[in-house]
């Protein structure tokens, strides 16, 4: 079987990191297995045409097996209300394809120094599952500014949305090996249930779904306390589930503890579709200089292969995902090829070449 991958390079460093990932994935599996269709979209495309996500691109994404994205957004390219155009690409895809689970692995890689002293690879390894279609971000484009004196946005949490993201997170915990500290499969519900009824409802629905999973321990943390816990005891966590805004915030904090956004992959998943991209932005200040760090997008590519492997029962893809992770870990462990954000001088193309060489060294 071959797989069609809708590929949106996007803006800034997006074409560079997406191109690097396509190069590595094709080296792993060949063009007969993975077919990449390059599609228009992003803030730059909007600047030229008035469309951030053309209907033809959305249709192609809907018809493809998976979506690979580089990055979106450019400074100064905004709507009349001041909001950024680039963000709309993601939102249109999320809502158009019902990508309700945003999956952000937080893993300390070999050769990467955590700003949290004493933590080594293996001691930070958890996943944040962010509800992706509701919460405060559901108000995007629908907020009210009244007489230039008052503004409001609505927080939306539904039973259906909470049930399905809680079940997704609990099933993910079942497939993992538990928290690094104690090996327990654990779901931590991150909310503000002590203050707002909407979050108390979110917690209650998570509890109801959690009752079906006797093998996964339920844990709770208010979002303000969570910002402390992820710094003081990151090894305690296995899977964390949160509302859209809270999940967005703590995901970036988690990324900082393992080296930054440049090593943080992400997936946005629904029941039928999957979008994969690095968690970083488009970094237009370094675009075109071969200075981008491709690690986050490469690891997002590995997540894409794993998801496709499960969806289509294809062991070739899960094997390739494992090899890709091994290759990235191997290059970082070697220490000679370090991206610039880690104090090295290795650019996007050079790091990609080292990953390809590492793949050649791995046993078949």
Per annotation, catalytic residue among 184, 192, 222, 329:
192
- 248 is known as an active-site residue: yes
CA 288 from centre of chain: 24
Question: What is the Cα 3 distance to its own chain's centre?
Answer: 21
State the Cα–Cα distance between residues 351 and 156, nearest whole angstrom: 42
Tokens in use for 3?
A: 């797989």
**Beta strand residue intervals within 217-315, DSSP E:** 217-222, 239-242, 265-269, 274-278
Structure tokens at 86: 């680039």
Residue among 137, 191, 219, 238 flagged as catalytic: 137
- In the 8-state DSSP scheme, what is residue 346? B
Alpha carbon distances (Å) from 286 to 52, 100, 337: 22, 32, 19
Annotated active-site residue in 252, 290, 319, 329? 252
Residue 192 designated active-site: yes
d(CA 94, CA 90): 6
Q: Which residues of 109-146 are buried (b: 16+ CB within 10 A; e: fewer)?
A: bebbebebeebebeebbbbbbbbbbbbbbbeeeeeeee
Question: Of 40, 88, 238, 248, which residue is the catalytic one?
Answer: 248
* 137 flagged as catalytic: yes
- Select which of 59, 182, 224, 271 is catalytic: 224
CB atoms within 10 A of CB 212: 10
CA R_g for the chain = 20
Tell me the catalytic residues. 137, 192, 224, 248, 252
């Amino acid at each position: 079987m071959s797989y069609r991958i809708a590929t949106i390079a996007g803006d800034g460093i997006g074409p560079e990191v997406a191109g690097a990932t396509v190069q590595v994935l094709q080296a792993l599996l060949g063009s007969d297995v993975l077919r990449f269709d390059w599609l228009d979209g992003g803030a730059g495309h909007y600047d030229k045409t008035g469309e951030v996500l053309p209907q033809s691109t959305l249709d192609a994404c809907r018809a493809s097996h998976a979506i690979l994205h580089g990055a979106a957004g450019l400074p100064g390219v905004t709507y009349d209300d001041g909001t950024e155009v680039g963000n709309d690409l993601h939102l249109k895809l999320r809502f158009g394809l019902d990508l309700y689970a945003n999956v952000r692995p937080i893993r300390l890689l070999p050769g990467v120094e955590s700003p949290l002293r004493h933590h080594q690879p293996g001691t930070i390894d958890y996943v944040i599952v962010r509800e992706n279609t509701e919460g405060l971000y559901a108000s995007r484009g629908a907020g009210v500014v009244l007489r230039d004196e008052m503004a409001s946005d609505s927080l939306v949490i539904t039973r259906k949305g909470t049930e399905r993201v809680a079940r997704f997170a609990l099933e993910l915990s079942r497939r993992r090996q538990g928290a690094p500290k104690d090996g327990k499969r654990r779901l931590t519900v991150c909310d503000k249930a002590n203050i707002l009824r909407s979050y108390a409802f979110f917690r209650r629905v998570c509890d109801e779904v959690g009752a079906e999973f006797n093998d996964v321990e339920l844990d709770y943390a208010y979002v303000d306390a969570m910002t402390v816990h992820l710094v003081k005891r990151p090894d305690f966590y296995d899977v964390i589930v949160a509302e859209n805004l809270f999940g967005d915030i703590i995901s970036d904090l988690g990324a900082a503890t393992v080296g930054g956004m440049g090593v943080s992959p992400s997936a946005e998943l629904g029941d039928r579709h999957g979008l994969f991209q690095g968690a970083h932005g488009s970094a237009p200040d370094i675009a075109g200089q071969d200075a981008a760090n491709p690690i986050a997008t490469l690891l997002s590519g590995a997540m894409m292969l794993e998801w496709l492997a499960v969806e289509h029962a294809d062991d070739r893809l899960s094997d390739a995902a494992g090899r890709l992770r091994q290759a990235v870990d191997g290059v970082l462990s070697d220490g000679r090829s370090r991206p610039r954000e880690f104090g090295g001088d290795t650019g996007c193309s050079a790091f990609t070449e080292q990953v390809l060489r590492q793949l050649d060294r791995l046993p078949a």
